[in-house]
Structure 1
Amino acid sequence: MSTQAQMPAQIAVAQQSATLADVGANTWQALEEIARAGERGDDLLIFPETYLNGYLFDSADEVSRSALTLGSPSLAAVAEASAAHGVHTVMGFLERDGDDVYNSAAIFGPDGLLGKYRKQHLPFLGADRFVVPGRDRAPRVVATPFGNVGMMICFDLRFPESARELALQGADIIAMPTAWPMHATFLADHVTRVRALENLVYLAVADRADEEAGTQYLGRSQIIGPDGSVVLDALDATGTFSATVDLASARRKRLVFTPGEYAGACSTPANPISTASWCARTTTNADLTPRPWRSTTVCGPEFITEETRNKIAAHAAQFRQVTQSPFGPDDEIGMLNLLSPAAARDVLHRADGGAAIDLSVDMFMGMPSWVKAGDPAFQQWMTHTPRGTVLDDLTGAGEQNRLVGYSGDAVSMYTHTGTHIDTLNHFGYNGEIWNGFNERQHLSSRHWTKCGADKIPPIIGRGVLFDVAALHGVDMLPDNYGIGGADLQAALDRQGVKFRPGDIALVNTGRMSQWPDPAKYIDNSPGLNLDGAQFLARAGASVIGADNSALEQMPAQDDENWQVVHTYLLGEAGVPIMGVVDCQQLAADKLSRVCVRRRLPEDPRCDRGADASPRDAADRLTSRLS
């Protein structure tokens, strides 16, 4: 298999309904979807298992009557439509060959039939009870202009040899028609990711989400990347869903390992397998004072492909220089681009809607806030009172003011008050901010015209709690304690959690236990040091938040930069910061993984150009993840 994988390729999965035993109606629906795929520019379109026939037959006679020969009019029509619209189509069908019937999938392209596969592993379910296992040992990977496509079907997924055989034959993407019932959620949640990751290939699954013969299909058609990440998940929606992927990344079977990036020398294998080495060494210092590392070394490589690494700005960052965005010259949101719609759907699907936790704090006069640089504290005052309106008649309503009791108030504050998110224009270097935007061209007399709070999209993602206080067995870390990469990795190890690119990092120092005393909460706060910030940014954090006021260790341990973490994360790494995040309940309930949701304000124009948005305080909730 020697075809050159083009990049990018547009892959589509058809999560479409079908009618049991109605080959004509199903074929017509398939032809319409192939035409639409051609209009969209899809390179590969995958249909569910036995799509042309249906699946839940009750007898061998029914299966036999519905089965199609390879030269049948229905399959000929699929081949003709694929050629006419320039689409490569993987179609699932029941195949008759002499006296035998097989559960088959065939791939058609501009030149007709390119390849065929007969399902080898048969569960005692539906049509599979009445078909013959495939025994054909011919290669089932076909070359296409955009890459090599392998095929397997549904139950084959449970057997690692099926996917490995395809990978060894050179598959860049495995197309898998399936007919998952509702109880197969563990396959969609876990096994698909494992198969893609262990073979470093793309895996595209097409299922149905309708009902057939009284049985509900699961849906969850999906595309998984070679790093195990979810590129697309259709959940239970009916439709055809597509994503653009770089199939060439599946050719990179040898990944780059960067030894000692976080904790000195670490034993590395002769054939390394990771681009982001997470090497941490444990310490048991009771007073948390940084000391020379002990001999216990834990190396936990996180799989990050070169494709993903190239999207993480921290890997291209230069010391004290703003970074050009990997997402293009117009990008204003940085690593928030790592929050994909597919990942959002996945995390919402797994969230416990009945266990919502508010991470925000209330706003009130006298609350802790940053005032040391002359910024205003939170203030609230009445602009109108019922009695005052009668006296001054500012409404012009006259005697009506005695009937209508009118109250109104106003607030003023620094935008970094309470639970808030810092935007990428908050800090930079030498008059420049993220992506090279500068004060000469992009700073008006009122606000920045780039990277403001109005540009921040709705945030829905997988949150990971780093309970550093619990790691060290204390309710609150000591004043001015700097949290480094080793602390963060040790917290993950203790909690048994992996941190993935696009995740939202939440750091618990225990500082919220001092709320709402301004002096105890604000001054000399523990927080991230530069090493800790680099650890999270290079791991692909989309947002980083903490339960202290400034996220970082205060004061900073840098004689030249009093906001070393802010300037690094916002200017170099493109990672927005959340401050004053109440992690107490998360820590108390030992919730290491949560769904983080932040809604947009009703009128984002009110935040235009702002370097922080405090109003998402009331809009940020988390839910327990299953």
Structure 2
Amino acid sequence: MVTHARPAKPPRLTADEFDVLYRRLLSRAAWASGDRGALDALTPARVLAAAREVRTGRTVTLAAPVETLPGPDNPEPARHRMSGQPEEDVPGGLHFARDSFAMNVHGDADSHIDALCHVIYDGTLHGGVAASSVTADGATTLSIEAARDGIVGRGVLLDIPRLRGVRWLEPGDHVTADDLTAAETAQRVRVTEGDLLFVRVGHRRRRAELGAWHAADARAGLHPSALEFLADRRVAVLGGDGNNDTAPSSTEGVDFPVHVLAIHAMGLHLLDYLQFEDLAPLCAAEGRWSFLCVIAPLRLPDATGSPVNPIAVL
């Protein structure tokens, strides 16, 4: 049943309008201006409070399987090579099966987390750090190492296709701040300071049922103005089952406005291309949309991101 009609298409932003929005969010994010950005909101007290979200002890992955075959949205798939597989006739004694992986972390298929050094905008990183701090050998600051102790907090899933009574949002569609507020009301949950906010647009379900497409050119995501909602609630992390940004971009001259606003202005680590198709039905069945969430990026001290497997604990 449709509980919230599809809103009128939000307006495109001119370069000047985006600049005003960027500066407004930057001024409101002074609380997230350190090397860890908004992760500083995950205080021990909030982690303890998040632990009380556990009711059944059931664990659910929010990651999609790593893709090793090329596709329209994945021209550079992860490479998995067996390096020590047994031969047909295995001699006696001890042997080890071994393998190695290589991965384009920031592709359009695999689940990953973006570090605060990922976005360079007007010559700087988050917090005004010089772009030159990202070198050919890696990032010297604001790398994914900032999350080395893990990201643990209260996760909240807002399911926008469920809100609108559709299977998924079509590529090019936008999630607005009004959508996020309406989803809170419909799901009887409220996003609060320090939460890990996950927004479902149905990207993974559409991909599974219709096949992969060139997501770099067309995908559903948040409208830049929706970041006002995140600033109001002071969330610690934003994650989506798409790229979080809509394509084509709604902003003149900026292809990834949500990435710029979230990472560069607000200090939010972004999680892209997650999957919520296991979690959403459980949340609906239990009638609750908040949970303990544990995210453990790889310790890659100089990296701009990491493959990731967030775990929801219900």
**Given the two structures, how large is their TM-score scaled by the length of structure 2?**
0.83
What are the Cα deviations for residues 263-312 of structure 1, in whole angstroms up to 9, with x where unaligned? xxxxxxxxxxxxxxxxxxx9634xx54389xxxxxxxxxxxxxxxxxxxx
Q: Deviations over 1:230-252 (max 9, x none)?
A: xxxxxxxxxxxxxxxxxxxxxxx
Report the equivalent of 2:290: 593
Q: Aligned partners of 1:319, 1:540: CA distance in 2, in Å?
A: 14
Partner Cα separation in structure 2 for residue 367 and residue 506 of structure 1: 27
Shift of residue 415, structure 1, vs aligned partner: 1.5
Q: Partner of 2:52: helix, strand, or coil?
A: helix
Q: 1:377 to 1:387 in 2, by over 3 A?
A: same
From 523, 536, 540, give the equivalent of 2:234. 540
CA distance, structure 2, for counterparts of residue 582 and residue 367 of structure 1? 19
Runs of at least 5 residues in structure 2 that lack an aligned partner in the other structure: 12-19
Q: Amino acid of the residue matched to residue 349 of structure 1? A: R
1:473 match: 165
Q: CA RMSD in A?
A: 3.1
The 5 Å alignment of 1:204-353 reads 284-285=5-6, 288-290=7-9, 318=23, 325-326=30-31, 331-353=34-56
TM-score, structure 1 normalization: 0.43
- The Cα of 1:520 is off from its aligned counterpart by 6.8
Report how far residue 523 of structure 1 moved. Answer: 5.1
Q: Which has the higher contact order (CA 8 A, sep 6+)?
A: 2
**Cα distance in 2 for residues equivalent to 1:503 and 1:320:** 18
Residue 381 (1) aligns with residue 102 (2): no
Give a deviation string over 1:65-87, Cα, whole Å, max 9, x none: xxxxxxxxxxxxxxxxxxxxxxx
Partner AA of 2:86 in structure 1: P
Q: 1:413 maps to what in 2? A: 103
Residue 371 (structure 1) shift? 5.0
SS in 2 for 1:347: helix
Q: What is the distance in 1 between the residues matched to 2:91 and 2:28?
A: 58
Which residue number corresponds to residue 551 of structure 1? 244
Deviations 1:396-433 (A, max 9, x none): xxxx9775544322111112352211111111312210
Q: 1:164-185: per-residue Cα shift (whole Å, max 9, x none)? A: xxxxxxxxxxxxxxxxxxxxxx
- How far does residue 490 in structure 1 lie from its aligned partner after superposition? 0.9
- In 2, the alpha carbon distance for the partners of 1:492 and 1:327 equals 24
SS at match of 2:154: strand
Deviation for aligned residue 1:363: 1.3
Q: Within 5 A, what are the aligned runs for 1:393-542?
A: 403-416=93-106, 418-440=110-132, 442-456=133-147, 457-516=149-208, 517-519=211-213, 524-542=218-236
SS of residue matched to 1:381: strand
SS at match of 2:63: coil
State the Cα deviation string for residues 93-149 of structure 1 (Å, max 9, x = none).
xxxxxxxxxxxxxxxxxxxxxxxxxxxxxxxxxxxxxxxxxxxxxxxxxxxxxxxxx
Greater gyration radius: 1
Identity among equivalent positions (%) equals 21
The 3-state SS of whatever aligns with 1:581 is coil
CA deviation vs aligned residue, 1:176-230 (integer Å, no higher than 9, x gap): xxxxxxxxxxxxxxxxxxxxxxxxxxxxxxxxxxxxxxxxxxxxxxxxxxxxxxx
Provide the C-alpha distance between the structure 2 equivalents of 1:336 and 1:480, rounded to a whole number of angstroms: 30
Query: What's the CA shift for 1:476?
Result: 0.5
| AA of the residue aligned to 2:250 | Q
Secondary structure, in 3 states, of the residue corresponding to 2:182? helix
SS state of the match for residue 478, structure 1?
coil
Query: Which residue of structure 2 aligns with residue 579 of structure 1?
Result: 272
- Whose strand proportion is higher, 1 or 2? 1
Report the count of equivalent residues: 295
* CA distance 1:370–1:612, shift in 2 (3 Å): farther
Distance 1:416 1:540 in 2: 25
Shift of 1:580: 1.7
CA, structure 1 residues 370+413, in 2 after alignment: closer, same or farther (shift >3 Å)? farther
State the secondary structure of the residue aligned to 1:466: strand
